[in-house]
Structure 1
Amino acid sequence: MILDQSAKKAFNSFNQSLWKKLERKEITRTQLFEGRFHTFFKNYFHMEIDGNVCSAQYLSYLAHGHEEIDGASQILNDLFKVNKQILLATNGVFKTQIQRINDAQITHFFEHIFTSEKIGVEKPDPRFFEYLFAHSHALPAKTLIIGDSLSSDILGGINAGIDTAWFNPLSTQNFSQIKPKYQIENLSEIKQFT
């Protein structure tokens, strides 16, 4: 078995398709985590593996990997200095996300960290945002969600009736029906909304 660029690309595409199914409630988190490696290895490499073991190892590696998006620390610091309330909202695995945020040394910027795993529903479900607003001091009319996913972050914000900004650093064309209020290519552009 060779894990070359072709295999990595195929896995990333397959993995993203599963996350999209999760967002649409077509599968459960358990089905995603238990099935993604087993199914991928069976279909791509014609191998039978224990998907749970592979998933646990993958999440362990993922938890210890983080790469700062250009300007992220600076914009977080700038917003924090002017007392902007910063919340983190993710569909990612709680333990993995917390480890990555801690390792990146940015935990102190966030007043709250909301994960779908703890809330029990995934973005874009409006209940995710109902929970967020019920458990923070954020007000929908004064909230802007900034995210890189049209189907979870931006659609979730639209479903919740809040302003949305699509972080699109590669200037990817949006062919979907999901229309963010704003689009930014660089995190420094967030300053225009403060």
Structure 2
Amino acid sequence: MEARFTTLLFDADDTLFDTTRNEEQTLAALFQEKGLPYDETVLARYRAISREMWGAFEQGRLEKAQVQHGRFARLARELGLSADTSDFFPSFHRLSLERLILEPHALEVCRELARTRRLYVITNGTAAIQRPRLERTGLAPFFTDVFVSETLGVQKPQPAYFERVLQAASAQPAHTLVIGDSLTSDIAGANRAGLHCWWYNRAGAANPGTATPDREIHDLAELL
């Protein structure tokens, strides 16, 4: 990595944490805890609903609480379940914290980068679980701060989100690099804010051309 990048802004979900696998295990555990039938159809439907609703949140069409709780209510409706989903969200995150999985090489890469650079987490996720996730996985010592959209009052990919992060971190745009897996949130947000960005594309997904990363990487070790 170029020496000019002294401030690194890491997305959390599916960049530092393997949220895809965590989500699969957590949803299965949640349905087992609630005594509800579970199979791959449930997971596929949940992911489709979650992807759609988080996309609406990024666009400012939904509030975060509507996504957090509403995805489970909608899932139950679409599956024809009569379950009361009012406590699904806190249960899901409790179970999620018990099943944390880091992306490959995340720990060693962050440890090495933190020797010479300042690392921050940038996320639209739930504020209450961000620091516990870092602490439980051993990442906490390598990060100077965590910037959560609900705390800042604006979400990725809005330019104002990145402006507030840069101000809080006393970082210069020319020396700041965004690293994330989401084209619509991380990369598009960095583009709109005029920041350099690397797309972490572990799955080898196609880029439809809606966002332009400076570089595409498939392993976090490529950051070294």
Q: Same fold (TM over 0.5)?
A: yes
Question: What do the CA deviations read for 1:103-130 (whole angstroms, capped 9, x no partner)?
Answer: 0011110111101121111100111111
Q: Could you tell me how far apart the structure 2 residues matched to 1:51 and 1:148 are?
A: 30
- The answer to whether the Cα contact below 8 Å between 2:134 and 2:140 also exists between their aligned partners in 1 is yes
Shift of 1:64: 2.9
Of the three residues 56, 59, 74, the one matched with 1:21 is 56
Q: Could you tell me how far apart the structure 1 residues matched to 2:83 and 2:40 are?
A: 21
Of the three residues 44, 47, 61, the one matched with 2:81 is 47
Of the three residues 190, 198, 211, the one matched with 1:157 is 190
Of the three residues 186, 207, 214, the one matched with 1:181 is 214
Task: Tell me the equivalent position of 2:68.
Answer: 33
- The answer to whether the Cα contact below 8 Å between 1:62 and 1:96 also exists between their aligned partners in 2 is no
Question: What do the CA deviations read for 1:138-158 (whole angstroms, capped 9, x no partner)?
Answer: 211111100011111111111
- The answer to whether the Cα contact below 8 Å between 2:166 and 2:172 also exists between their aligned partners in 1 is yes
| Mapping 1:53-68, distance limit 5 Å | 53-68=87-102
TM-score, length-scaled by structure 2: 0.80
Residues 1:96 and 2:125 aligned together: no
Residues 1:6 and 2:62 aligned together: no
Shift of 1:20: 0.7
| Mapping 1:82-121, distance limit 5 Å | 83-121=116-154
Of the three residues 127, 144, 160, the one matched with 2:160 is 127
- The answer to whether the Cα contact below 8 Å between 1:88 and 1:113 also exists between their aligned partners in 2 is yes
- The answer to whether the Cα contact below 8 Å between 1:154 and 1:164 also exists between their aligned partners in 2 is yes
Of the three residues 145, 162, 172, the one matched with 1:139 is 172
Letter in 1 for 2:49: F
Question: What do the CA deviations read for 1:150-176 (whole angstroms, capped 9, x no partner)?
Answer: 111111111111001100012111114
Q: In angstroms, what is the RMSD of aligned CA positions?
A: 1.3
Equivalent residue of 1:52, what SS? coil
Shift of 1:47: 2.1
Question: What do the CA deviations read for 1:27-71 (whole angstroms, capped 9, x no partner)?
Answer: 111211231111111112x12333331111112212333111111
Question: What do the CA deviations read for 1:62-85 (whole angstroms, capped 9, x no partner)?
Answer: 23331111111111111112x211
**Structure 1, unaligned stretches of length 5 or more?**
none
TM-score, length-scaled by structure 1: 0.92
Q: Could you tell me how far apart the structure 1 residues matched to 2:97 and 2:185 are?
A: 21
Equivalent residue of 1:135, what SS? helix
Task: Tell me the equivalent position of 2:108.
Answer: 74
How many positions carry a matched residue from both structures?
189
**Structure 2, unaligned stretches of length 5 or more?**
1-35
